[in-house]
Amino acid sequence: MFSNDRGASLVELLAVLALAGVLAGLSAPLSANTLDTGRIRAASAFLSSRFRLARIEAVNRSANVGVVFDQVSGQWEIRACRDANGNGLRRADIASGADPCFDGPHRFASMFAGVDIAVDPLLTGPVGEPGNPDPVRLGTPDIASFSPTGSCTAGSVFLRSSKGQQFAIRIAGANGRLRTFRYDKTPHAWFQF
Categorize the per-residue pLDDT at 128 as very low, low, confident or very high, splitting at 50, 70 and 90. Answer: confident
> For the chain, how long is the longest CA-to-CA vector?
93
Categorize the per-residue pLDDT at 25 as very low, low, confident or very high, splitting at 50, 70 and 90. Answer: low
Q: Is the pLDDT of residue 6 over 70?
A: no
pLDDT value of position 30: 55
Categorize the per-residue pLDDT at 10 as very low, low, confident or very high, splitting at 50, 70 and 90. Answer: low
For 133-187, write each residue's pLDDT tens digit: 999 999 888 999 999 998 888 999 999 998 888 999 999 888 878 999 999 888 8
Q: Is the pLDDT of residue 27 over 60?
A: no
Q: Rg for the chain (alpha carbons), in Å?
A: 24
For 44-65, write each residue's pLDDT tens digit: 999 999 999 999 999 999 999 9
- Tell me what the mean pLDDT of segment 35-48 comes to: 87
Categorize the per-residue pLDDT at 129 as very low, low, confident or very high, splitting at 50, 70 and 90. Answer: confident
- The 10 Å CB-count burial string (b at 16+, else e) for 117-147 is bbbeeebebbeeeeeeeebbbbeebbbbbbb
**Backbone dihedral angles phi then psi of residue 105, each to the nearest 5 degrees:** -75, 145
pLDDT value of position 96: 93
Q: How far apart are the first and last CA of the chain?
A: 62
pLDDT value of position 67: 94
Q: pTM for the whole thing?
A: 0.80
Indicate left, alpha or beta for 166 from its phi (over 0: left) and psi (-120 to 50: alpha). beta
Contacts with 24 (C-beta within 8 Å, 6 or more apart), sequence order: none
pLDDT value of position 135: 94
Mean pLDDT, rounded, of the chain:
85
Q: Say if residues 79 and 105 touch (Cβ distance below 8 Å).
A: yes
